[in-house]
Amino acid sequence: MSSNNPISNFQDVPWKQRFYRSMLGYGIHFSRRSDGTINRFIMNLFDLKAQPSKQPIDGVITSDTVVDATRNLYFPLFLPSFEQNTNMPLIVYFHGGGFAYMSANSIACDDLCRNLCKKTGAVIISVNYRLSPEHKYPSQYDDGFDVLKFIDDNDNTKNFPSNVNLKQCFIAGDSAGGNLAHHVTVKACEYGLRNVKLIGLIAIQPFFGGEERTESENRLVDAPVLSVKGTDWLWKTFLPEGSDRNHPACNVFGSKSVDDIRRLKFPATMVVVGGVDPLYDWQIRYYEGLKKCGKEAYLIEYPNAFHSFYGAPELKESGLLMEEVKDFIGKLIK
């Protein structure tokens, strides 16, 4: 990281977390082929997976539900094992990984959803969507929306706890998952679900961008965890052939955007940003775009936080984020 960068809390990450992140970084580096494809065999050697557990682990039990086996579309369901009230909200979660890496059962994603489930008391659905470059835009958005339609069908929620309230549903995601959360929410608002009511969106350091280089990208070009060169590569693998980063999937409120959310009943949105994230300026623009469209939006900022800080529960900011999410949910379900 260059000398003019703000101080990051990355140095406060415990060595085990640093080692795990380094191993994932090596996997990402060595799995990338020169033709822009990914060697999944090599990547899977570094991307350790979690297994469903009917026995409580740290206060949470899990099980998998298949939506469409032909595209490996499924979701782990995270349930608090401790006694809950009769009104449990539902969070539909999309994991990060630049649309190209990780899965719903990756250790890091599993740990994050377990922590979120335990701290908020909500039921969590973590969507395992298809990955790029094998499956480019809009495959991931289609998968996310299909899961929403799946749970909107009461016949598919028979295994859900009886005290889950589908009328108190939140869409959430981190990084690329935050991007997915936005676009899936737009599709859901346009479609009109019958039994599921979206009341909140939680975008944690969402992955947005554009052709323009922002101040934060120039200042944090080699930031920890996520570099500008890395984000450019990820957009190239995800966006349709011939598209640039002003594509509306990337630059939500840019000149090519076709989504006019002013006309939609868009849910209240919580946008989480970190000061040592090269995506910072794009995330601020997203928040400001929501406000300009007349939508209810809240900005949560951690000045010293690097991209994906929430994956290190030992960090102060990670604990603060869980409290903010809990408060946001509590405010909207009252």
Give me the active site residues, please: 175, 277, 307
Q: State which H helix or E strand residue 319 sits in.
A: helix 316-333
CB within 8 A of 271, min separation 6: which ones? 203, 206, 283, 286, 287, 290, 297, 298, 299, 300
Pairwise CA distance, residues 28 & 131, whole Å: 14
- The stretches of 47-204 forming alpha helices (DSSP H) are 107-120, 139-152, 176-191
How does strand 297-306 pair with strand 88-94?
unpaired
Pairwise CA distance, residues 49 & 79, whole Å: 19
CB within 8 A of 138, min separation 6: which ones? 249
**Nearest to 103, CA basis, from 51, 165, 150, 148:** 51
Pairwise CA distance, residues 171 & 328, whole Å: 12
